Homo-oligomer: A and B are copies of this chain.
Amino acid sequence: MTRHEMIWSANLATRAERMRASEIRELLKLLDQPDIISFAGGIPEPSLFPFDVARRVTAGILADPNLGPQALQYSVSEGYLPLRQWIAAHMGRLGVACTPDNILITNGSQQGLDFLGKLLLSPGDTMLVEAPTYLGALQAFNAYEPRYDRLMPEGGNRTPASYASAALAAGGRVKAAYVVPDFANPTGETMSLAGRESLLDLAEDLGIAVIEDTAYEALRYEGESLPPLLALDVARCGDIDRTRTVYCGTFSKTVAPAYRVGWVCAAKEIVAKLVLAKQAADLHSSTINQMVMHGIAVAAYDAQVTAARALYRGRRDALLAALEREMPEGVSWTKPEGGLFVWATLPERFDGAALLARSIAEERVAFVPGSAFFATDAHLNTLRLNFSSPNEEKIAEGIKRLGRLIRRM
């Protein structure tokens, strides 16, 4: 047996492979090339970051004789209480009456997804997901070897019994449904109120959890806000502590991603379990980052959201106008009311991955081929276009180049 044939090493390789997906890493590499116009990332515009508030808040904490030592010390796994209080009040404004005991601080919303996979999924269990859906959620869940089944828009032609029996036939049970209800990654689409209610009906029939990923919720550029699934669930149950919905929120898109501060809001009993997963995984989120995020939230959350909405609304408008101008017949795309992405569908004969290769080589334009976002049955003729990173001028130029490439293919 050579070193490279060792069981543990093979094991490591197989499991890691399940989690492979290259979105963010590959994207950051592309963005390093200054002549590329990139619609690939999902990253915020850095000019929106609150540098001055961050500097002032951090310096104040580190210089304070009480807060300083606390900021650099170990802390509790559930998270910094004043931040959990701020978030509980924020959830109240979204229609979710709750207390800090309903909140766990996580490293971005991503870590909440990992914990839910860890606690809910056994190999062969079924996770219901939209198609397409957020790649990072698939990565997080994949580690726990689920089977995926497709949530149909507003129920489609699927019955609860058809989901349950398909799961049993595959050797497991349906454990949860995962959705990004507002301005989804990658489609930019928003679930209707009827769609939300019908998902909660389905979850109740199946006796499963609902995982609600709200990464983009605050970034609405037009139209009326819809209540989060958790708010609708609270309205049904009368009390958050009787709900089945697990809300995964984040400051990554409204304040800054690098602090890695997100949260889970759910029934106290569920949060208590997730706290144990947090403790086992990394003890707690960075204390100083939680304290700084609390300071920024108190001082500037609303201003951050207002500024982000104004900037991204302009870029979304620029992207939609450019697509209208530049795309040939047979190409269609979503018109998102918020978020960071537009989803384009090309004629059947196109393959997004092949198009990307040519687009980089011939036009110096990048995007993410849509196939990456499907758990099963990928539609190859799709692309995800991000509009938060490129400015309006680059958006116009990039879509012009992409349009002319598609026209000559």
Q: Contact residues of A with B, CB < 8 Å?
A: 1, 3, 6-9, 11-13, 15-17, 19-21, 24-25, 28, 43-44, 46-47, 49, 51, 54-55, 58-59, 62-63, 68-69, 71-77, 106-108, 110-111, 114, 118-120, 122, 136, 139-140, 142-143, 173, 175-176, 207-209, 242, 244, 252, 256-260, 269-270, 272-274, 276-277, 279-289
B51 touches A63 (CB 8 A): yes
Known: A12-B270, A19-B280, A260-B285. A49 touches B69 (CB 8 A): yes
List B contacts of A24 (CB < 8 A). 74, 76-77, 279, 283
Inter-chain contact B62/A54, CB cutoff 8 Å: yes
Q: List 14 A-B contacts (CB under 8 A).
A: A3-B244, A8-B120, A8-B207, A8-B209, A13-B273, A15-B273, A24-B279, A51-B63, A51-B72, A54-B62, A74-B252, A107-B286, A114-B280, A118-B143
Q: Is the CB of B59 within 8 A of A273?
A: no
Instruction: Tell me whether A277 and B7 are in contact in the complex, defined as CB-CB below 8 angstroms, given that A72-B46, A107-B107, A283-B136 are known contacts.
Output: no
Which residues of the partner chain B approach A288 to less than 8 Å between Cβ atoms? 258-259, 289
Question: Do A258 and B74 have beta carbons less than 8 Å apart?
Answer: yes
* Whole-angstrom CA separation of A365 from B169 in the bound complex: 57
B15 touching A118, Cβ below 8 Å:
yes
Q: How far is the CA of A396 from the CA of B16 in the complex (A)?
A: 50
Does the CB pair A282–B74 fall under 8 Å?
A: no
The complex places the Cα of A257 from the Cα of B139 at a distance, in Å, of 28
Contacts of A114 in B (CB 8 A): 280-282
When chains A and B are docked, how far (Å) is the Cα of A110 from the Cα of B175?
Answer: 28
User: Of the candidates B6, B77, B142, B242, which one forms a contact with A25 in the assembled complex, judged by CB atoms under 8 Å apart?
Assistant: B77
How far apart are the CA atoms of A55 and B12 in the complex, in Å? 40
- Residues of chain B with a CB closer than 8 A to A12's CB: 119-120, 209, 270, 273
A43 pairs with B73, CB closer than 8 A = yes
Q: Please give the distance in Å from A74's CB to the nearest CB on chain B.
A: 5
Chain B nearest CB from A389 CB (Å) reads 10
> Which of B69, B136, B257 interacts with A46 by CB under 8 Å?
B69
Of B71, B75, B175, which one neighbours A8 at CB under 8 angstroms? Answer: B175
CB distance from A70 to the nearest CB of B (A): 8
Whether B140 lies near A280 (C-beta < 8 A) is: yes
A366 to B136: give the CA distance in the assembly, Å.
43
Contacts of A176 in B (CB 8 A): 8
CB neighbours (8 Å) of A259 from chain B are 72, 286, 288
Q: Which 7 A-B pairs have the closest CB atoms?
A: A16-B273, A46-B69, A258-B287, A107-B282, A72-B256, A19-B280, A49-B72
In the bound assembly, the distance between CA atoms of A270 and B10 in angstroms comes to 10
Alpha-carbon distance A93/B69, docked complex (angstroms) = 30
CB-CB under 8 A from A74, the residues of chain B are: 24, 28, 43, 252, 257-258
CB distance from A344 to the nearest CB of B (A): 23
Rounded to whole angstroms, the CA-CA distance of A105 and B282 in the bound complex is 13
A1 & B46 in contact (Cβ 8 Å cutoff): no
Cβ contact within 8 Å between B277 and A16: yes
Closest B residue to A60 by beta carbon equals B55
A10 to B6, CA, bound (A): 36
6 more A-B residue pairs beyond the given contacts A28-B74, A54-B62, A72-B257, with a C-beta to C-beta distance below 8 A: A7-B173, A9-B209, A25-B279, A55-B59, A58-B59, A289-B289
A44 contact set on B, CB distance < 8 A: 73
CB contacts (< 8 Å) of A71 on chain B: these are: 258
Is A281 within 8 A of B140, CB to CB? yes
* Chain B residues with CB under 8 A of A118: 15, 143
Complex alpha-carbon distance, A287 and B289, angstroms: 11
Neighbouring B residues of A46 by C-beta, 8 Å = 69, 72-73
Interface centre among A71, A119, A259 (most CB of B within 10 A): A119
Give the complex CA separation of A106 and B111 in angstroms.
13
A376 CB, nearest partner CB in chain B, Å? 19
